[in-house]
Amino acid sequence: MARRRPQPGLVLRLYVAGHAPNSVRAIANARAICSEHFATRHSLEIVDLLEDPHRALIDGIIVTPTLVKLSPPPVQRVIGNLSDTDQVLLALAAP
């Protein structure tokens, strides 16, 4: 069960609204970018705010889809359906 977390680990959380079109697209894009550029050295949690609305408060989410980079610091957010890969990579790599 103990999953070995890659060092340094990239920890991401993606907030979506059910199967709404941009949410679906964002999930697909996030997965693609992760597997292409970070291989196994990442974790991606998907939070559906239609199911768990209260979790929006934790990260101060105001729109979906929103991708949050939790680690390594600093915390970064990318708003939208993540179709601009360069922009996403820039945000994830930013110090």
Q: Which residues of the shown chain bind another protein in the complex (CB under 8 A)?
A: 16-23, 49-50, 53-54, 56-57, 61-65, 77-81, 83
Q: How many CB atoms lie within 10 A of CB 88?
A: 22
C-alpha distances in angstroms, 88 versus 4, 12, 50, 53, 93? 25, 12, 24, 25, 9
Cβ nearer to another protein, comparing 7 with 13: 13
CB of 40 to another protein, least distance (A): 19
Q: Which two tokens stand for residue 13?
A: 């959380």
Cβ nearer to another protein, comparing 7 with 57: 57
CB of 38 to another protein, least distance (A): 22
Residue 92's identity, in one-letter code, is: L
CB of 27 to another protein, least distance (A): 12
